[in-house]
Amino acid sequence: MLDTLISSQTRLKLLLKFFLNSSTSSYLRDLESEFGESTNAIRLELNRFEQAGLLSSASMGNKKIFSANTQHPLFSDIHNIVLKHYGLDTVVEEIAHKLGGVLKVLLGGSFARGINSTVIDLLIIGSDIDKNYLLQLIEKAESMIRRKIRYIILSPSEFQSYPQTDTLLLWENN
């Protein structure tokens, strides 16, 4: 969907990198090795995003570190569009809303670090989760988004001791 509207693959990669997980930050050389593209193409897009106010930057030594400007009026809209583009909104709708006993759903793995992947890693926190029904919901969601879903179910007490680095909260039962 977005690749029809946005012809630059570098721009799409930057959108995923910075607008899926707002705590993601990176610098030019790191993006070059991650994307496998020239620094000139990446620098051009980073400058455009920064001039538009969508990215902010800070200097750390000789590196210019970029991150999403969460204060920008369009940040939440872009974030939601990126979620929809990668089918993560569908995952939440098909799994979290329909499965009883779920307290939280967190995104892990590559997507949580802002890297596109064919596999979506989920941490499902809750108790009394019907695993057979969960498998049915996951199969349905996988066919809708055309990606594999890998998951871990944790009880609330297990989640307390689980390392929570590189995770992104997708849904929470309020």
Count of H-run helices and E-run strands, the chain = 9, 7
- 63 and 129: one domain? no
Low-confidence ranges of the chain (pLDDT < 50): none
pLDDT of residue 91: 82
Amino acid code (one letter) for 126: G
pLDDT of residue 1: 64
- 95 and 168: one domain? yes
Q: Which helix (H) or strand (E) holds 170?
A: strand 168-172
Please, where are the H alpha helices in the chain? 2-5, 9-19, 28-35, 39-51, 75-85, 88-91, 109-112, 131-145, 156-160
| Number of domains observed in the structure of the chain | 2
CATH number of the domain to which 121 belongs: 3.30.460.10
pLDDT of residue 98: 82
CATH number of the domain to which 44 belongs: 1.10.10.10
Indicate whether 73 belongs to any domain. no
pLDDT of residue 128: 85
